[in-house]
Amino acid sequence: MAVSMQITGMHCGGCVRSVEKAAQSVEGVSNLSVNLESGQLTADIANPDLAGTLKAAVEDCGFDVTSVTS
């Protein structure tokens, strides 16, 4: 299933890489894409519970997730 999140606090490519790294560390996440300009993360997740895990992983590296759509 697909999930998308709106992230605030990303200012540069380094921030994007931090978010990508955190998101990719969550097992069951694939086809990850993080866009700096829109602040949007999109990915496929293996089960619905991973949306919360993914949100927590992004927040743990210092960014705010303002919405999750799955």
C-alpha span between 20 and 28 (Å, rounded): 14
7 in contact with Cu ion (CB under 5 A): no
CA distance linking residue 52 with residue 37, whole number of Å: 23
**Does residue 37 touch Cu ion according to CB under 5 A?**
no
Determine the Cα–Cα distance for residues 45 and 16; give it in Å rounded to an integer: 19
Binding mask 39-68 for Cu ion (x = CB under 5 A): ------------------------------
Binding mask 10-29 for Cu ion (x = CB under 5 A): -xx-xx--------------
Phi, psi at residue 38, to the nearest 5°? -85, -15
Binding site for Cu ion (CB under 5 A): 11-12, 14-15
